[in-house]
Structure 1
Amino acid sequence: MKVDPRFLKEEGYEVFLGNELLVKGLLETEGGTHLWTGYPGSPVAGFFDCIESIQEIPRQYGIQATMANNEALSVAMLNGSQMSGMRSIAVMKSVGLHVAADALALGNLGGAHPEGGVVVVSGDDPWSSSTQVPADSRYLFKHLYMPILEPSTNQEIKDWIDLGFKLSRESELYLGYLVTTHQADGGGSVQARRNHFPRVNTHNKFSIDTTKVDFENKVLLPPRTWRKEQDFERRYQLLWQSAEKYGVNRTVLPAHPLPAGKKYPVGFVTSALAASYLEHALGELDLNDQVPVLKLGVTFPLNPKWISDFAAQVEILVVVEERRGFLEEQIAVILAQLHNHTPLYGKQFPFGLKGFPDTLGMNPSIVLSLITPLLQKLAGPTLPVDAKRLQSELDLIAQTASYEINLAPRTPTFCPGCPHRDSASVLIEVKKSFMDPAYMQRKHRREPVDLVFHGDTGCYTMLMFEPTKDLMHNYSGMGLGGGTGLGIDPFITNKQVVFMGDSTFFHSGQIAISNSVKNGQDITYIILDNKTTAMTGHQPTPGLELDIMGNPTFVQSLDKIIEAMVEQQQVDVIRTNPEQRDQYRSLLEETILRNGVKVIVADKECGITFHRRRNRAERAEAKKNGFVRTKSYININTDVCENCLECTRATGCPGLTFVDTNFGRKVQTDLSWCVTDTACTKIHACPSFEEITVVRSQKPLSRLEDLQQTEWPEPKPRPRHDRWHIYMAGVGGMGIAVSAATLVRAGHREGYDVIMCDKNGLAIRNGGVYSQITFLKRGEAERVSPLIPYGKADLILGIDILEAARGLDPAGNQRVGSPARTAAIINKAKTPTILTLLGKDDFCVDSIEADIRKYTDSKHYFSADISEVSERVFGSKIYANIIMLGVAYQLGQLPFSLASLEYGIQETMGSASAENWQAFKLGRKIVLDANKTTAKPDTYHSVVAEKSDILRRSGRHGEQLARDYWGIVSHAMNELRLDDLEQQRLLAERIYELIQYDGHVLARDYVDRLIRLHHKDSAEFGYAATQAALWNLHRVMAIKDEIYVAHLLTSEEKYARDRERYNIDPELGDKVVYRHLNRPEFILGAWKLRFHIRSQPWMLRLMRRGKILRKLLPLWHREEKQFRDWYLHAAEQFSIDDPADYPQWLTLLRLPEEARGYREVRYPKMRDCRQRGDAILTAITGTASTSLHVANR
């Protein structure tokens, strides 16, 4: 296994991510480390991913690296390691520290081995971006009497791991090591040092001499407990001595001399990332080294001497820290005990000024905005400031706060192919059906029941968001969903359900099941066994064959563990595949309604791991053969789709998207995200879904031929600041991290210091993500924070336009852009939010673009639909991120050479670097020659010519049909005043479709009706009624019955679109296999025949010839015919005798647009539209549309 050479580097500068810095710090620890353990959780889950990626190093040197089943067990391992001089670490997120507290209390009380040491890393989340409670681990560490070490910079994050072990063993205490989200999810340039490896290791074991066990310290029960507690003061003294020796705390005083007897007006006391924010803010004010700062590394317990010495030199103390006043409280106690009356501020400021917030986190601009008014008040001979500089910084912050941006929220959801969507989608239906009295009586012979769902921790926590929010009614924490239900169980008649992941089961969930069985709870556990710890990055579980080191482990069976627990009880444990929707639903209904504890194990692999494996196989096949021989897709025929949103509402799958067509917005699969798991097809809401299998016999032709040997002119670089900031924004899965890695590698190659911060957390799929990167002179990284100050991004690279705008929104905490400084390069493609897919919260790309352009430098603004170009050229949108880097380079917006960018792409992409380099070149070409890279839209003339040709080839009467078509179109254009070429094109499309539906007579009827209405319309209103009728007369006349749908599924135009979309070339031997997922219905008198069929094209071609059935089956699609005739009659009554009635006529004429869907989906909508339409007609004319005989056409 190849090991990342960065972790073997022992001198010079290198770039690491935040969690990687922890691992490199362990490798550099003097004497080596022995045990690496913990439990994954955001933001420190990447620690375990890093171990897995470099597993060869700990394996070779005998370092035990293992993931415990939970945090408490990992700390118990630390306790065991201190029986000898092991240096051991446990890493967990802040709420995991709560789980570990009991074991930590005992371990710390007993103390670290004098030759060993214990470091406990807690990943805190000050902004609560991915953590369920506003935890501040400092208070819990203090409660446990554990000293706290808080690194500020990337160099400290790495180097202080070694320091932490030294402080631990020299003080005989466990050491709490605090990192926050912006540190763990960040990273940057650091100086590497020599690696050390332990002498005692898994290859060189020893034997414990039990006669020398120190029972007084290792077996802590009263009366030993209180004796050890009295020893803390001595150990704290040892800690302070070691901290002094290693220079952990540091005082920075101004360079200018202080007059005798004078004090500095203010001194700042700070620590952790807040110290970085403070230094960054002072730098922006040009006050670095001009204001006294006490930077604390050990933040508990505070050494009184450091506080008193610093306080003696300043008039007032101001504490800069995130969240609550942890340092401030300690300093207040110290000053009081020393009878020192130096004024102390932090969460409150003097002069009535606003102090630092005690909720959420901070950033350099928040710090700057709060300290600047204070510095303005205190300015004088001992605190010289540039008043104009200070005010200009405040003005910039105020400017970014004034931006008026209204953005739709983007919530995360399950990934495409996620097995949890199978369960959630079915249970949404089950919950709804269980509240239907008729359904419950017919199916289960009982009264309705309201299902209560208890929440738990895992990917399924995203049930809290639409469209599944009714599947999570409460939340108590990991493994506690069943216990939450037990608290209400004795008092309710509801049936209860709780989701639990396989990782959660091994963490703590099995105890909850035992508790439910013991107490006779009425609950169904649905264990989502996806074979991984998916939420935190796919770490292994005890149910898998290998651990994070790749070592074989005993595979533990969920089923057998549960069966052993309930052996004496009548508890069902059923394993099933949730993909089998109908069977799964029946099982769920039957199981949930039974009394007592029931367990269903939903057995389906995580979509990400499954499709990664499949994609690797496809890449290997492509490498071997030059192409993938067989590949299947789920396609939605947009001609058939009614945009009823039943599929999106039932699944909430981001693999679905919207496309704009000549017949309005339609749903389509997104080739970049859809994984062909068929979940959307099982809704059976409409016949538009089909499975397309492309079979190739040779490599498809490249669409990049003109890029292969082209040389591009080099761009003129834009002048830039010493600190160059880029903000990249997108949606999870768009490759923001890949783009960031590419630029970081390019910058590192050119000798820049790099510091960065990414947003991860809940941004799995369809959640917003960003990356903030700063490039600056070598050696300067220690003076800035990972965050871009408000308004100071040099470039916004918006791979998603909505998320790019979110980086400007004052309602958030980014606000990175400004008109004076920020260039913007924006991908105009629209990626729907989940709420947009549900039809609840749409957004306008043009409006958002106007906002971005307004609040950035319009002279350096560029936008294009990069995703469309990527999909058209590469067959996928996933190259949009690298195309945009090419755009940015050619616009002169990147401070890197072409060679460095090519290096960055090669190092980041590996075997995929060749096509990504082509994507980069394509981005350059877009800038140089946009016309050659953009798609050409259809025109009125091209549509008429194309449709005439198709009709001409359609059979014996083709020539006549083409002439009829041309005659009807010409007649319409002569009679209708359609100056808009777009409307002309749309009309030509609809005339053609009606000819295909039922011949030229129907098409003429359509045009004649439209002309009659148009002659009563007026230019005063922009002929809006004509435009509405143009759309909706066609909509009601071309009823999508089985015959017309069969035509749309097999039309020449449809096959042409498929060839373009999937790069199919029959001349190269490409073949396509279609399986249409239909559910036709036929009504024969009193009989209604409806069935599922995976139809083939030949079947549909037969069906589309059966127009005679429309006359033979008079009751077939009766409601659609009644609605058609009602609308035609209503449209005939249109008049504008009273101009005040025009808006109401428009509302009526547009009503069919709301009657979307098929059969049971659209029938209630049709009835509602008729009712509303009749009310409008009554209000205008005094009579409703009369009931008409239904024609059998």
Structure 2
Amino acid sequence: MAIARDFSLDAKYRREEGLIFLSGIQALVRLPLDQHRADKRRGLDTATLISGYRGSPLGGLDLTLERNGELLREHNVVFLSGLNEDLGATAIYGSQLANLFPRPKYDGVLGMWYGKGPGVDRTGDIFKHANFAGVGKQGGVLALGGDDPLSKSSTLPTHSEIAFYDALFPVLFPGNIQEILDLGRLGFELSRYSGLWVGFKIVTNVADEVGTAEVAPHRVVVTDPGFLFEGRPWQAQQQPMLMPPFGLETERLIHYGRLEAARAFAAANGINRIAVPTPEAWLGIVAAGKTYYDLREALGELGLDDAALRRYGIRILKLGMLFPMEPGIVREFARGLEELLVIEEKRAFTELFIRDVLYNQSERPRVVGKHDEEGRILVPANGELDADRIAQLVASRLERKLHLDSITARVALLEALRERPAPRTLVRQPYFCSGCPHNRSTVVPEGSIAAAGIGCHGMALYMDRNTYGLTHMGGEGAQWVGMAPFTETPHIFQNLGDGTFFHSGSLAIRQAVAAGTNVTYKILYNSAVAMTGGQDAAGAMPVPELTRALEAEGVKRIVVMTDELDQYPKGTRWARGVEVWHRDRLDEAQRILREVPGVTVLIYDQRCAAEKRRLRKRGKLPDPAMRVYINEAVCEGCGDCGVKSNCLSVHPVETEFGRKTQIHQSSCNKDYSCLRGDCPSFLTVIPRGTAKKKERRLFTVDRALPEPALKVSRQCSIFMTGIGGTGVVTVNQILGTAALLDGQHVRGLDQTGLSQKGGPVVSHLKISERPEEVSSKVAAGEADGYLGFDILVATSPQSLDHARPDKTIAVVSTSQVPTGAMVTSTEVQFPETNGLITSINRVTRKDENVYLDAIGLSERLFDDHMAANMIVLGAAYQAGALPVSAEAIEEAIALNGVSVPMNTQAFRAGRLLVVDPAWPQTLTKPRLGAVETAPALSVEARALVDSVGAAGELR
């Protein structure tokens, strides 16, 4: 296929017409730019303020905005990270008042607030005040609510439309990247027209989606609805006076003016539409946002395309605005139906409004949704609705009137997948990164109890650390204030991340001081909000200033723990009585503090290991020269170093003498906690003189590689599994970009959650020659290509459900990457590889499958494990499992701009492995301490051996 030569990575933001490739988060960054361009075409000079607080699924939005500062300035966009969600919303409220002051700079100011579901909940008060006040002239506000229905990276599943409804926001629900751009533009215009803030529901699978979208200057055409209010053309007016009695008049205006204007705007601009207008239908199905595309995927798998839906009497209504409900289109849609089925996640919401619209109709269909006509559960209110779940519930309604082989076959397949025996494998759980400060900081002394908090350190709940409980963000420790009077337990430790402290957690400490509660707060000061991408905490202060602030709050005693005592120069201004100790004295410090009555604080000051690694890579932080090795000939495999360090770079390995341990050099972050293990096998190596940056050894494929025969459909679904933080998402982005370069359309999804902390990550990618109304997820049994970058995740039942013996080609790395449980317990073993391979072969096209030790090969070729995924990608291409060109893949690798020579050669090496499976056997890299390893003595060491006449193993 011809490659699009004019493609560039910033096209996702700058191209104004054509096809672009971007993620859901990137689409949210582009949205205010498109609104500014539209305003400019109308002769308006507008600006935009973006503020809020990070949190998955919108966790990367602020980072992406910060990385595009020049682009934002070009479009008059100002980004201010909120200290927390409600203060960010208050700043947005202020932006709408700017034109009421003298000498405004712009014709109008738009606002875009963002926050995850719990942030929506805590911001309700300012939402209501701001919405009563209204938006500025030529302004408008979108409030992005990030919902995590599966609670993958949240303490609770969330459902923000009800909170938006309570604040009287119109609520829009985009279902994919294209709708973020299109419905988002209409959202700004709706807010501007109605005078209301507009809720914009972004679920995880839309924020994390990747794919192609069409853009054009006049793609979104706005129609004035001509709404009349009290006999006059509607004109939104601000009501900034919120004191009594003005609020009562504003309440009337909202209910009978602004909300009715929103309904009229939605009707005039086609925000809700009858997607399949079957004239003589008996069944109507209603869905919105992501759920609509899951529904279309489910219907397709049941054999019901648009023609079949019309043939069998089925009508589909797609809602873009959940509230206020547009009554006209509901009545039109319901006309003549016997049954109307509402499919939506979580509690009934649109179902209630639809019932209300139809209640007084003389002829109305039976409305079912959360329950059927007999009160039985129909559409579940828990968990997530995906295409497979929807297919089964829709089939249960259709089979009363339709008897189609396609429906029977699909339901049978889904039931068979549910009955598959689970393979004997090991679950890969999220874990602290290698060298993470929390590996040590969350340990408590014997006899003590800790309470968990929001942040990466919350994973201590999964570990044997006597850690319990969790509150909302910022409430850490206040629950103990309420517990303490009713228990004989005298004291607890409360973990509190620095990001949470500056967000709102400082108030919990003030509450504990006010109550006189015995508690030691462990402020885990990591200089980055690692859970959402390594951002600086908004409003953060250096540790010395923090101690003075805590002293002013009334904290009784403060101890600072650090791994770098020399980072604080002489004369540093600490609070009175503060002691600064090395982290090795953590247990001693905790035992002292737990005996002090009242509130005490231990500040554990150590930079986030992942952020430290990034800074070292960019040359912004010194990289220690010392490296740690383990001589396997001496190691007894006791596991004490793993227990002491809790570090994922302490790898158990199987040798000819049984289990041993090695330090995985390319993932090691040089925390050196493993040296606390009681073991003589450790070696520390410090190069002589000034350490020089190591030049990466670059293997090159020096032979021509034949083009493979494509063994999957060109309309292809690819399912990928791996370990978070190892580049699985990057592979998906590269494949998606390559498909775009080949002129194809793409929809995909990166399901990450806590996977960035060493847990499982899965990515989905669908490639087609034209746009399709489908889910971004690969449905059960529908994967054509199955790429396993980690064999443990690849053999989980949830992953294997996407494979089918007559359809799926698997390309899987067999490298044994240990889990956290394997590091800390010698009892936990990696499952037997042949058994795992058998589990995959059983559900895939076993004769076409490819298995390879990708990490081992990557380290032998490049001295780096990070090329492993590209080796798997190359093998998948050569196996005929990818409907994209090698030229486009290599161009996408180059456009990505990261380790381009290595990743290009790794892709080619994967191809070579399929062409010549015996080739890797010619490569060797002996382990340190392996019996076949010859000793390598320095000149000085050999002279010493010769001087004493030693023989045998010393030589």
- 2: CA distance between counterparts of 1:776 and 1:855? 24
Residue in 1 that maps onto 2:895: 907
* 2:763 aligned partner: 771
User: In the alignment, what sits opposite 2:477?
Assistant: 482
1:193 is displaced (CA, Å) by 3.5
1:218 and 1:824 map into 2 onto residues whose CA distance is: 61
Identical aligned pairs, as a percentage? Answer: 29
Task: State the distance in 2 between where 1:747 and 1:674 align.
Answer: 35
Q: Is the 8 A contact 2:652 2:822 kept in 1?
A: no
Alignment partner, residue 780 of structure 2: 790
Letter matched to residue 266 of structure 1: L
Q: In structure 2, what is the Cα distance between the partners aligned to 1:568 and 1:139?
A: 37
Where in structure 2 are the equivalents of 1:290-329 lying within 5 Å? Answer: 290=309, 291-329=314-352
Q: Counterpart in 2 of 1:998?
A: none
For residues 57 and 662 of structure 1, do their structure 2 counterparts lie closer, same or farther at Cα, with a shift above 3 Å needed?
Answer: same
Alignment RMSD: 3.3
Deviations 1:89-120 (A, max 9, x none): 11110011111111111111222234211110
Match of 1:716 among 709, 718, 723: 709
1:372 corresponding residue in structure 2: 395
Once the 2 structures are TM-superposed, how far is the Cα of residue 192 of structure 1 from its aligned partner? 2.4
Residue 269 of structure 1: how far off its partner (Å)? 1.0
Partners of 1:458 and 1:716 in 2: CA distance: 48
Alignment-derived partner of residue 1113 in structure 1: none
Indicate the residue corresponding to 2:385 in structure 1: 362
Of 790, 797, 822 in structure 2, the residue corresponding to residue 836 of structure 1 is: 822
Instruction: Give the superposition deviation at 1:86.
Output: 1.8
Taking a change above 3 Å as real, the CA distance of residues 3 and 754 of structure 1, as seen in their structure-2 partners, is: closer
TM (normalized to structure 2)?
A: 0.87
Aligned to 1:926: 913
The whole-number CA distance in structure 1 between the counterparts of 2:200 and 2:135 is 15
Q: Which residue in the other structure is 1:408 paired with?
A: 426
Q: Which amino acid counterpart does residue 712 of structure 1 have in structure 2?
A: L
Task: Answer 1 or 2: higher relative contact order, Cα 8 Å, separation at least 6.
Answer: 2
* Partner Cα separation in structure 1 for residue 843 and residue 605 of structure 2: 50
Deviation at 1:561, TM superposition (A): 5.0
Contact 1:141/1:176 (<8 A) preserved: yes
Cα distance change of structure 1 residues 265 and 195 upon mapping to structure 2, 3 Å threshold: closer
Shift of 1:265: 1.4
Tell me how far apart the structure 2 counterparts of residues 131 and 702 of structure 1 sit (CA, whole Å).
Answer: 39
Q: How do 1:303-702 residues align onto structure 2 when only pairs under 5 Å count?
A: 303-338=326-361, 341-349=364-372, 355-379=378-402, 387-406=404-423, 407-424=425-442, 427-428=443-444, 430=445, 432=446, 435=447, 451-468=448-465, 470-471=466-467, 473-491=468-486, 492-542=488-538, 556-557=541-542, 559-561=544-546, 563-564=548-549, 566-567=551-552, 569=554, 571-578=556-563, 580-617=582-619, 631-682=625-676, 684-694=677-687
Q: Is the 8 A contact 2:134 2:238 kept in 1?
A: no
Deviations 1:873-912 (A, max 9, x none): 222221110011111122122211221111011112x151
Contact 1:828-1:863 at 8 Å conserved across structures: yes
Paired residues of 1:3 and 1:53 also in contact (CA < 8 A): no
* 1:870 aligns with one of 847, 850, 858: 858
Q: Which protein has the larger Cα radius of gyration, Structure 1 or Structure 2?
A: 1
Map 1:153-164 → 2, pairs under 5 A = 153-164=176-187
Shift of 1:27: 0.8
2-side partners of 1:46 and 1:856: how far apart?
35
Q: Distance in 2 between matches of 1:1098 and 1:656?
A: 33
Aligned to 2:223: none
1:517-564 deviation line (CA, Å, top 9, x unaligned): 2221211111111112111111222356xxxxxxxxxxx345435534
Q: Give, in angstroms, the shift of residue 565 of structure 1.
A: 5.5
Question: Structure 1's 467 and 194: CA in aligned 2 closer, same or farther, altered over 3 A?
Answer: farther
The aligned counterpart of 2:175 is 152
User: TM-score if structure 1 supplies the norm length?
Assistant: 0.70
Deviations 1:430-452 (A, max 9, x none): 2x2xx3xxxxxxxxxxxxxxx22
Q: Which deviates the most, 336-345 or 637-646?
A: 336-345
Counterpart contact for 1:27–1:195, Cα < 8 Å:
no
The answer as to whether partners of 2:51 and 2:80 remain within 8 angstroms in 1 is yes
The alignment partner of 2:512 has SS state of helix
Residue type at the aligned position of 2:498: D
- Aligned CA distance change for structure 1 residues 389 and 721 (closer, same or farther; 3 Å): farther
Q: Compared with structure 1, are the counterparts of its residues 228 and 734 closer, same or farther at alpha carbon in structure 2 (3 Å cutoff)?
A: same
The structure with more helix, counted as a fraction of residues: 1
Q: Residue 937 and residue 33 in structure 1: after superposition, are their counterparts in 2 closer, same or farther (change >3 A)?
A: closer
Using the alignment, how far apart are the partners of 1:99 and 1:72 within structure 2? 7
1:685-1084 correspondence to structure 2 within 5 Å: 685-694=678-687, 707-718=700-711, 720-780=712-772, 783-806=773-796, 809=797, 812=798, 815-839=801-825, 841-842=828-829, 843-908=831-896, 910=897, 912-934=899-921, 1056=934
Q: How does 1:1095-1106 map to 2 (within 5 A)?
A: none
| CA shift digits 1:1132-1166 (9 cap, x unpaired) | xxxxxxxxxxxxxxxxxxxxxxxxxxxxxxxxxxx
Q: CA shift at 1:708, angstroms?
A: 4.3
Change (3 A) 1:1073 1:508: farther
Indicate conservation of the 8 Å contact 1:467/1:649, yes or no: no
Structure 2 counterpart SS, 1:377: coil
Residue-by-residue CA offset, 1:181-226 (whole Å, 9 max, x unaligned): 1110112100124499xxxxxxxxxxxxxxxxx9982232333333
Q: Which residue of 2 aligns with 1:226?
A: 248
User: Which of 186, 192, 208 is matched with 2:215 structurally?
Assistant: 192
**Does the CA contact (< 8 Å) of 1:304 and 1:334 recur in 2?**
yes
Q: Give the corresponding residue for 1:10.
A: 16
Shift of 1:5: 3.8
Q: Which residue identity is paired with 2:809? A: A
Counterpart CA distance in 2 for 1:788 and 1:281 is 11
Structure 1 residues 3 and 925, CA, compared in 2 at 3 Å: closer, same or farther? Answer: closer
- CA pair 71-1072 structure 1, distance change in 2 beyond 3 A: farther
1:678 shift after superposition = 0.3
CA distance in 1, matches of 2:390, 2:325: 23
Q: Which residue of 2 aligns with 1:27?
A: 33
Spell out, residue by residue over 1:1097-1140, the C-alpha distance to the aligned partner (whole angstroms, 9 max, x if none): 989x99x9999xxxxxxxxxxxxxxxxxxxxxxxxxxxxxxxxx
Structure 1 CA distance for aligned equivalents of residues 500 and 288 of structure 2 = 35
CA distance in 1, matches of 2:453, 2:547: 18
Task: Tell me which amino acid in the other structure corresponds to 1:229.
Answer: E
The number of equivalent residue pairs is: 883
CA deviation profile, 1:1009-1056 (whole Å, cap 9, x unmatched): xxxxxxxxxxxxxxxxxxxxxxxxxxxxxxxxxxxxxxx99x895974
Per the TM alignment, residue 751 of structure 1 is displaced from its structure 2 partner at its CA by 0.9
| Contact kept? 2:134, 2:237, Cα under 8 Å | no
Rounded to whole Å, the distance in 2 between the matches of 1:530 and 1:162 is 38
Partner of 2:96: 82
CA contact (8 A) 2:528 2:608 kept: yes
Aligned 8 A contact 1:751 1:778 in 2: no
Counterpart of 2:506 in 1: which secondary structure? helix
Show the counterpart of 2:117.
Answer: 94
User: Offset at 1:827?
Assistant: 0.6
**Unaligned stretches of 5+ in structure 1?**
197-213, 380-384, 436-450, 545-555, 622-627, 944-1047, 1060-1065, 1075-1095, 1108-1193
Rounded Cα–Cα distance in structure 2 between residues aligned with 1:631 and 1:1072: 22
**What is aligned with 1:267?**
284
Q: Secondary structure at the match of 1:756?
A: strand
- Rate the CA distance shift 1:284–1:81 in 2: closer, same or farther, 3 A: same
Aligned equivalent of 1:283, options 295, 300, 307: 300
CA distance in 2, matches of 1:1097, 1:267: 89
**8 Å contact kept, 1:147–1:174:** yes
Judge conservation of contact 1:277–1:784 (CA < 8 Å) in 2: yes
In the alignment, the residues of structure 2 paired with residue 186 and residue 893 of structure 1 have an alpha-carbon distance, to the nearest angstrom, of 22
Q: What CA distance in whole angstroms lies between the structure 1 residues aligned with 2:695 and 2:494?
A: 51
SS at structure 2 position matched to 1:763:
helix
Between the aligned partners of 2:184 and 2:160, the Cα distance in structure 1 is: 18
- Distance of 1:698 and 1:481 partners within structure 2: 45
Deviation at 1:311, TM superposition (A): 1.2
Query: Is the 1:39–1:70 Cα contact (8 Å) retained in structure 2?
Result: yes
| Partners of 1:403 and 1:855 within 8 A in 2 | no
Residue pair 2:721, 2:799 contacting (<8 A) in 1 also: no
Q: Which amino acid aligns with 1:926?
A: L
